Amino acid sequence: MTFNATKARDALVTSGKTAVTKVEIREAFPIDDRFMRVVAVASAGATAEQVFAGIKAQFKGVSPIHGSFVSLAAEPTLHHFEGIVGVVSERVVLNDGNRPNYKAVAANMYMDADENLWTLRKTATGEVMVKSVCADDTMVMQQLLAVAKSDVNDFNNKNLHLQSSQDRAMVEGGDLITYVSQQSADLQMGIACASIDHEDGSPTPDIFVVRPNGQTETVHREMIVVTAGAVELEEEEIQDSIAVASAADVDRFSSFYSRVFARRPAFFEEFMTRVRGHVFF
């Protein structure tokens, strides 16, 4: 049986209803109160725009994160993929004109005239107010989880997700990754520096990451999109990395890996090119 991509595409766009029903959430894995990793299927001819529109139409208030959806498997009529969706908080760039609209209620917490809570975050480009997650947002994620749990028993998708989850669990210090930032809700690149443990020594799902610009971030492993293994270091850098790892100091991690990025701009650009070719959309 030959696969007719044009016919599949035409079938998907016959109506708005068809576009929605062609996206099926088979599994959903909560990451935090704002983000969830989903395993889904869509018509083999579906475009990124149609899939995203289908998810948004089915789950009001949920946004697929661009660049986080990776192909798991393809069949003649279905495409299996996984990616990250979230309740992406409203953001407002703070300036002298709108600053009086927010009243401080706690450290970095503010309230507007409608009694919505906002968090003040300082970025490289200025100050940003981020609207806090509310009960309605949490309910949206719970509804998505309920739909996924009531879906068919798809052992193929379960196994596909298990393999990718194992890959994320194996990420170690020095590995190059792309991930969705839990702060900015967009795709970022960085080097994993170290796992983060509880006070009793038991592991957490979080890792410490340094970006090319030296900024640091704590990242949940399920927010990782693509892993590329350890970055090859020169001999003198290997010695430095051992010293940095032993010190377990955030500033030293940041400084060291910023230098690693700066010495290999072409390598990291090529990595991002491969990522863009690897991700489904």
Q: Are 51 and 65 in contact (CB under 8 A)?
A: no
Q: What is the DSSP string of 245-276?
A: HHHT-HHHHHHHHHHHHHH-HHHHHHHHHHHH
d(CA 206, CA 75): 34
Write the DSSP symbol of residue 221.
G
Instruction: Give the pLDDT score at 18.
Output: 40
Instruction: Read off φ and ψ for residue 130, nearest 5 degrees.
Output: -115, 125
d(CA 9, CA 46): 6
pLDDT averaged over consecutive 10-residue blocks of the chain (281 residues)? 44 40 77 86 83 80 86 82 82 88 87 86 76 60 62 56 79 86 86 85 89 87 85 66 59 74 77 68 56
Q: What is the pTM of this model?
A: 0.68
User: On the CB side of 234, how many CA atoms lie within 13 Å of its CA?
Assistant: 9
Q: What is the DSSP string of 38-77?
A: EEEEEETT--HHHHHHHHHHHSTT-EE-TT--EEEEE-SS
Radius of gyration of the chain (CA): 21
List the domains of the chain with CATH numbers: 5-87+136-154 (3.30.70), 91-132 (no CATH), 170-278 (2.30.30)
d(CA 139, CA 97): 34
